[in-house]
Structure 1
Amino acid sequence: MNKLLEAVIENNRRWTKDGKVATYIPELGKADQDAAGVCIITLDGEEYNGGDYKTKFTIQSISKIITLMLALLENGRDRVFSKVGVEPTADAFNSIINLETKNPQRPLNPMINAGAIATVSLIEGETSEVIFNRILNFTRKITGNPDININEDVYQSEKKTGDRNRALAYFMRSTGVIEQDAEEVLDVYFKQCSIEATCRDIARIGAMLSNDGVLPWSGERVVPRNIARIVKTIMVTCGLYDASGQFAVEVGVPAKSGVGGGIVAAIPGRMGIGVYGPALDARGNSIAGIRILEELSRELDLNIF
């Protein structure tokens, strides 16, 4: 399997030349555009790696599945989905159009920025620090990595340049979607996006979801089966923003991307996959990461449909 992964990396590394690293968050622009890595973790504990799988990157929007799980655990599905919908969007992940014209009462889904910010506002805690620490500790548990932390430089960079996210948050505050102080909610959101991980870490998140909420390496259940299934379903329909439909056709697995270059995939009953490639396509998804997953889907017959 390791030989297959190395071959897949080499087959698809060339795609990095056709993408660009994210620069609207200045710190992300420092990533190596040519980097590409992959990790597979099976449900029986086997681990396979290829390429730049040890490289750390900030998980960015991959954090949205983590906060969605926490929000569902604490609030239940009815409360969460009264604040945020579950419908796909054809607009960009940071668009404000849907909030203004389609459904001013709630964002379309938890995987776009507006929906993720609304989701964060549902997580319990008296201060933003307490709330973020709960997110961080949950992330450490589901990755089995107690050393995971934020990249302080990326966090500060996001906070200084996050004007679009502020616009989304304050708009939702004005319509009652967000009931807390908008800046407090945003501070948590900027920090969760700045959590730093490797392909192995996110592959473990994928493995937990593919195992219906049970950690494969310990047997501990961390989320109920129904929550794991809700999250995987939303990953299929919304996980790669406005490219989710095409990804479902070409790859056919639940997945979530982030502009830091990571993509986590959960293949039900089989494995979790983490890929990394900071060169992004026009929709904000790892251009090499998608191609890596396409080839793996063909070679390992991963498509769930």
Structure 2
Amino acid sequence: MSIEDDVDAPIGTLEEQAADWIVRQDGTVLDEAEQSAFSEWLAVSEHRREFDRQNAIWQRYRRMASLPIREENSARAYPANRRTSRWRPAPSAIVRRSAVPAIAAVLALAIIGSTENWPARLRADYSTGIGERRSIALPDGSVATLAAGSALRFDQSDGARVATLLSGAAQFRVAPDPHHPFRVETDEGSVTALGTVFTVEERAGEPEVIVLEHSVAVRTSSGAKAVVREGESTTFTAQSVARPVPSDALAATAWTRGKLIVSNRPLSEVVAQLGRQRRGYWTVRGEAANLRVNGVYDLDHPLDALAALEKTLSLKSIRISNMFIVVSR
């Protein structure tokens, strides 16, 4: 559901309905019509269970944020005679209705614990938190630089050095040792260093490899192979390797220096990368998601970067503190 959706459209899922009622009551008093609709909705047992579950989580998040809901540049005109129903927000709650997709998503994230990838972190020898970058000296003398929210395991056995990237992204500067190959393992396949500096990023089943020095050999789980040379990048799945293409390696690895350099990238992608530098949930809704962005942004100050984007592109945002932000046009 988008901020730009018709305000008369019914709220779809039970999770979103519960989130809508939580948003409406947060810091305000329901009017008589809203209270009647809420009571009718809450009378259904599965509605009550979902509301209680999400409200308990939401109150924990509100205590963490300790700031009231703030709405920016979001005034809109609505017809005075619009119809209301138990599935639709009353006029006094229309602006807050815009935040429902973000609230529902945040509650879901809290429920499944995905704001921190704990399964990966528990399996890792090295990990970074939200907004943290760290360079690590591995036991073999190589250096791994981890991006925010990354997890890495390292093992030396059977004549090989194996770094398993469990989540996130890492840049590797490999210590020379021709008798003990250095290999990075992912769920989709492996990347073997041929005396090199390179990065590997896990991206929804399609890892990306960028080579800064020398070359690497990529081998997928199904046996497909490719060599990626200095100045090239590629992606791969468990079945295949994409053809390597020229890459601006310095720009692509700017995150290791605390910068985000983008050229003609969609706003949704840029905001997602900035959002990974902080706890919470940042997203872009409606047509603004496809706006193309160019620029250099400071990953250590993501709020300043987002403010610059809002000003430059004439955007607006709905915020619950600075943890949960929905950007639109």
Give the TM-score band, short-chain normalised: under 0.3
Question: Where is the strand percentage greater, Structure 1 or Structure 2?
Answer: 2
Instruction: State which structure, 1 or 2, has the greater radius of gyration over its C-alpha atoms.
Output: 2
| TM-score, scaled to structure 2 | 0.26
Does 1 or 2 have the higher relative contact order (CA < 8 Å, sep 6+)? 1
| TM-score, scaled to structure 1 | 0.27
